[in-house]
Amino acid sequence: MFDFSNQIVVVTGARGNLGSAVARRFLAARATLALVDHAGDGLRAAFADLADSPDHLLLGGVDLTDEPATRHMVAQVIDRFGRIDVLANTVGGFRAGDPVHDTPLDTFEFMLSLNARTAFILGRAVVPVMLRQGGGKIIHTAAPAGEKGRKNSAAYSASKAAVIRLTESMAAELKANGINVNCILPGTIDTPQNREAMPNANFDRWVPPEDLADVFLFLASDAARAIHGAAVPVLGLT
């Protein structure tokens, strides 16, 4: 349905369930991929078919909470391909279960770092590239919890709210420069880990990673050229 031939797509968190699905969808749409993940050997194992390809780039062992490491990653992509047309950022995580007064400070800081700091640092590293080349697409991963606080998940909700507000601010700053910035709000994703954690749930109501990947491709396509600062809910049947 979409054709990303001759486009350079950076997928962060590429070894994860969502990141892998996003990467495979872009690959099927003929994109040139730069796949980024904190894991090193795990990334090569997950994409063994691309590991030695001259047409794609696998960058494992990258800590996206670290700005110098992130800037080095972007420099490697530019050295190899000369541009970045799409940033599909699937990095994120979930910790919850306690009210605010019982939530360890480490948990709060971890959620902000993993979910919000990474999006902020990626923007600082990638946006100057897109400004120089005259355009690009950035898609972050937020969550419905970022729109409304929920009990026993304040740290997670606050971190995802930060991603949404960051997306809106970046979109307002960059839309006149041909750069679209949007984010996706997934419902419960149908992953092996979530099935194990919630064995009595109705899995049919959850969102397959592949369905979320299709929304990433839409927001990265020219069909979404007029969409700026959107937080798109993709909730399945929940």
pLDDT in tens, 22-37: 999 999 999 999 999 9
pTM passes above 0.75: yes
- What is the C-alpha to C-alpha distance for residues 222 and 175, in angstroms, rounded to an integer? 14
Distances (CA, A) of 131 to 113, 174, 190, 218: 26, 8, 36, 21
Mean pLDDT over the full length of the chain: 96
Does residue 95 surpass a pLDDT of 90?
no
pLDDT of res. 238: 78
- What is the C-alpha to C-alpha distance for residues 141 and 115, in angstroms, rounded to an integer? 8
Mean pLDDT, residues 149-166 taken together: 96
Q: Do the beta carbons of residue 164 and residue 142 sit within 8 Å?
A: yes
pLDDT of res. 1: 78
pLDDT of res. 220: 98
Who's near 103: CB < 8 A, 6+ residues apart? 154, 155
Name the amino acid, one letter, at 163. Answer: V
pLDDT in tens, 77-88: 999 999 999 999
Give me the residues paired with residue 180 across strands: 137
